[in-house]
Structure 1
Amino acid sequence: MTFKTPLLAALLLNALLSAPLAADVQISNIIDEGLDGWEEHTFKGNTRYRITALDGIPVISAQSHGTASGLFKEIRVDLEETPYLNWRWRVEQPLNRLDERSKRGDDYSARIYVVKKGGLLPWRTKALNYVWSSSQPAESTWLNAFSSQAQMIAVRSTADSPGKFYSERRNVQSDFQRFFGTSVRYVDVVAIMTDTDNSGQQAHAYYGDIFFSK
């Protein structure tokens, strides 16, 4: 097979490399399932989540106007088999600089949670928050302003361009070990959230397919 332009070949190769394989654990399959299987949890008002298309590819659009709700999916993932979380995201309307280490600044234009439930002991529930930060440089980390059991990790920052998709890959098992000092084999919930309830600002982001891989 030949391609008329190097650009077309590069685009096709990128699509093939970013697509989940059969052995991967798919969290979202937007083109086939839309928002089926996701549930919404409201903290203050409702962020508007809907399926749209960018460049012909279905994505989840999230728009927040002083609101905070998230979409979550309960799914048990074996990190021994598939430790890497993969996703694509894009911030269309970023937030102005916030003190994200404070409760008043605990808003994010885009974030993805991975949760390990504590069973009958809810205080043992632990969460990793991969966020697009408005004030911290990439790879900065801090505890959530509302819970010491939620670790914040800045994957992207204001140094990254709005209106552009970025592909991410994180070793969730290693991150749990690093930040909580404990070995975690299974996680139970994956969630996305765009929220601006504490600052009263507006944010708009897009999320692509999310999956775990080897």
Structure 2
Amino acid sequence: MTLINRTVRLRLSALVAFLVSSLFWQATLSQEHEKPLLQPFSTASTLEPEWQPLEFPNIDRTSEYQLVQDNGEQVVMASTDGGASGLIARIRVEPGDQLMLRWRWKVSSVYEDGDARSKDGDDYPARIYVAFEFEADKAGFFERAKRKAAEALFGEELPGNALNYIWANRLEKGEIVPNPYTDTTMMLAVESSNEKAGQWLTAERNIVADYRKAFGAEPPALVGVAIMSDSDNTGESAKAWYGDVELLKAP
């Protein structure tokens, strides 16, 4: 073998090694880029630490959440019986011009005494809670002071406005009403009544468009997404099943 041929072979080998390394690196970057913003329930070995318990003061009885199999797919089953709590994924996402939220859910039934317009009826067999960053520059003095006191009590920074996508009891589908406890949370009925109870349904919402419609402003950063099944106000019971909850940013 001549020296020239050996040199050519070495250069070709080096080129091939470089190309293979580059392709592997690009594939790794692509996988990282495509990593879901929220941990899918379908592939999770455990709920924590990505999905953490969301509990409330003065509510001793909590809802139960567990990974189960339903028709060959892993989902979260929630059981609530006179209590309230959720599972929250604390993340930070800038909504931009478009941010889509997509999920699958199923409920056993809605509540006979459920009513989104009253405190006594503010319970839902299933809801998706989307929390946004608190905008201190747009809040009044008393609101800021009240939040500081609450944060000192709870030991963590509280979110600002929130959208609740609910499986409503009485609202018409698509209807938006303020939460009876606070107008910083708006309730949007994605499904309603018992008509489709027991069926898996898929929902998709444009979070940016919904925020604009609900609050009349551009959304700040999203700081958390939670699932929640509660019955502390009505004292009733229900089960709900949640498939993967996906956040999809505009390309």
Give the TM-score taking structure 2 as reference length: 0.72
| Structure number having the greater strand percentage | 1
Deviation at 1:184, TM superposition (A): 1.7
The CA deviation at 1:82 is: 5.5
8 Å Cα contact 2:82-2:230 kept in structure 1: yes
51-60 vs 33-42, greater mean Cα deviation? 33-42
Indicate which of 129, 132, 155 corresponds to 2:190: 155
Q: Distance in 2 between matches of 1:186 and 1:23?
A: 20
1:211 aligned onto 2:246: yes
CA RMSD of aligned residues (A): 2.0
Equivalent residue for 2:204, pick from 158, 161, 169: 169
Q: Which amino acid counterpart does residue 66 of structure 1 have in structure 2?
A: G
Inter-partner Cα distance in structure 1 for 2:73 and 2:194:
25
- State the match for 2:14 in structure 1: none
- 2-structure distance, mates of 1:196, 1:41: 15
2:161 equivalent among 104, 126, 130:
126
Aligned residue runs from structure 1 range 45-124, under 5 A: 45-80=61-96, 83-118=99-134, 121=144, 122=147
- Change beyond 3 A, Cα 1:72–1:124: closer
User: Which of these two proteins has the greater Rg computed from alpha carbons?
Assistant: 2
Match of 2:39 in 1: 28
Q: CA deviation at 1:185?
A: 4.6
Report the CA distance shift for 1:81/1:100 in structure 2 as closer, same or farther (over 3 A): closer
Residues 63-82 of structure 1 show CA distances to partners (whole Å, capped at 9, x for unaligned) of: 00000011111111222276
- 1:35 and 1:59 map into 2 onto residues whose CA distance is 11
> Which aligned runs of 4 or more in structure 1 are off by greater than 6 angstroms?
none
1:87 and 1:46, CA in 2 relative to 1: closer, same or farther beyond 3 A? same
**Which residue of 39, 46, 66 maps to 2:52?**
39
* Residues 1:124 and 1:52: Cα distance change in structure 2 (over 3 Å): closer
Measured after TM superposition, the shift of residue 159 of structure 1 is 5.6
Query: What SS class does the counterpart of residue 26 from structure 1 fall into?
Result: coil
Aligned length: 193
More displaced 10-residue stretch of structure 1: 140-149 or 120-129: 120-129
Deviation digits for residues 50-93 of structure 1 (CA, Å, limit 9, x no counterpart): 00010010000000000001111111122227610000100023
SS of equivalent residue, structure 1 residue 59: strand
Distance 1:137 1:159 in 2: 12
CA contact (8 A) 1:94 1:204 kept: no
Question: Which consecutive residues of structure 2, in runs of 5 or more, have no partner in the other structure?
Answer: 1-32, 137-143, 148-157
**Aligned-partner Cα distance in 1 for 2:111–2:86:** 17
Equivalent in the alignment of 1:19: none
Give, in whole Å, the separation in 1 of the partners of 2:202 and 2:34.
20
SS at match of 1:77: coil
- Distance, in Å, in 1 between the alignment partners of 2:159 and 2:86 is 21
Kept in 2: contact 1:109–1:195 (CA 8 A): yes
Q: TM-score, normalised by structure 1?
A: 0.83
When residues 38 and 155 of structure 1 are mapped into structure 2, their CA distance, relative to the original with a 3 A threshold, is same
Q: In structure 2, which of residues 136, 156, 175 is the aligned counterpart of residue 140 of structure 1?
A: 175
CA offsets per residue over residues 130-170 of structure 1, 9 Å max, x none? Answer: 00011111111110011110000000011641111111110
